[in-house]
Amino acid sequence: MFVSNSMTRKVITVEPDDGIFKAQELMAENKIRHLPVTTSGNRLIGVVTDRDIRSALPYKFFKSTPSEAEKNNVAELKIKDIMTKDPITISPAFTIQDALLVIQDARVGALPVVKEDGTLTGIISVRDLLRAFINVLGIGEPGTLLCILVEEKVGQLKKIVDAITEENISCGSVLVARYWEKDKRAVFPYLLTQNVVYIKEKLTRLGFTLLDPMEWYLDQLPKNE
């Protein structure tokens, strides 16, 4: 799935000479936290976030009512004074996996989507990525997640999928994750049924070990040898 299929196309933007109160109002009205900053021709030159605005506002704006003079001083601040220049961007031809990795590495909440000529074509946020992965994984439908410990060798995944389909059970998705024991993997089939007692017994008879998915966490490090 490509970024172009998951991004928000109708992007709300600001210009570099706009005041920060305008950006604050746009964020509040549209329930967003990131505003691309563009110039003529919709060319991206920066990004301003709700954090940028909070950092620019004096402490008094949060704890008491500022005076008119203080409001006027802040009103003189422009987007270009607080924005992040030359922000990290992503191409519409990238996959959602690419976008997820970039967001994780850059520690940002959204990425402007920019064409090769530098024009803004969309924005993809963590919320957009979550929606896309819910779609891909099929977890928007009622079902049950299993966690199966397998040996890391060819044919194991096919064996599990065959066992499931033989019972006329549909899979919303199947994920394979690393395990902290050598030569092991954890397989997570999301089954589109609540009745999983028999399939769990069948998988156990086939020699697989079933784990509690609620006790699993993907970031667990391998055990020290």
Tens-place pLDDT, residues 131-190: 888 887 777 788 999 999 999 889 999 999 999 999 999 988 898 887 777 788 889 999
Stretch among 51-65, 103-117, 198-212 having the lowest mean pLDDT: 51-65
Full-model pTM: 0.71
Measured CA to CA in angstroms, residue 62 lies from 54, 66, 77, 183 at distances of 9, 9, 17, 55
**Distance between CA atoms of residues 41 and 141, nearest Å:** 42
Answer CATH for 3-135 from 3.30.1330.10, 3.90.550.10, 3.10.580.10, 3.40.50.2000: 3.10.580.10
pLDDT at 214: 75
SS3 45: strand
pLDDT at 220: 52
Average pLDDT over residues 11-36: 94
CATH topology of domain 144-215: Alpha-Beta Plaits (3.30.70)
| C-alpha closest to that of 52 among 70, 36, 39, 71 | 36
Indicate whether 221 pLDDT > 50. Answer: no
pLDDT at 218: 52
- Residue 56 banded pLDDT, cuts 50, 70, 90: confident
Amino acid present at 200: K
Mean pLDDT of the chain: 87
Tens-place pLDDT, residues 62-110: 555 666 666 666 778 899 999 999 999 999 999 999 999 999 999 999 9
198's CB contacts (< 8 A; 6+ apart) are 167
Q: Between the CA atoms of 219, 127, 111 and 117, what dihedral angle is there, to the nearest 10 degrees?
A: 130
Where are the domains positioned within the chain? 3-135, 144-215
The torsion angles phi and psi of 133, rounded to 5 degrees, stand at -70, -35
